[in-house]
Amino acid sequence: QGRECEVVIFSAVRAPEACTATRGIGFLSDERRLNVALTRAKSLLIVIGHARTLSQSRAWAALLKHVRMTPGCFYDVPQSMEASTLWRLIEQRAREAGPSRRHFATQESPLA
């Protein structure tokens, strides 16, 4: 089916509901897709998404609750952060965490 990789960066970026005509998170609400995303990384999983939008799904809400309670696994990222700065932050956190850690970066403020 799928293959594992040492590092997986999963983009779960969706526009907040205020910016969309329809409510929901679309294909991201499929728990099978979430399961695939979470099980493909051998050493490091980085999920990037909008926490409030993803929380519309019970599965994503449970994941967010878990990573927020796990030290070093959840990072709020300012909307204004440049991609290169975000990448440096991810590299730094990955080095600090060592192998077999999962990271979840989220942007709490609404996207423009």
Q: Is 110 helix (H, G, I), strand (E, B) or coil?
A: coil
Whole-model pTM over 0.75: no
pLDDT at 67 exceeding the cut of 50? yes
Whether residue 1 contacts residue 38, with contact meaning beta carbons closer than 8 Å, is answered with no
pLDDT, tens digit, for every residue of 85-99? 888 877 777 777 665
pLDDT, tens digit, for every residue of 21-32? 445 677 777 888
In angstroms, the Cα distances linking 73 to 2, 65, 89 are 25, 11, 13
- Overall average pLDDT of the 8-20 stretch: 67
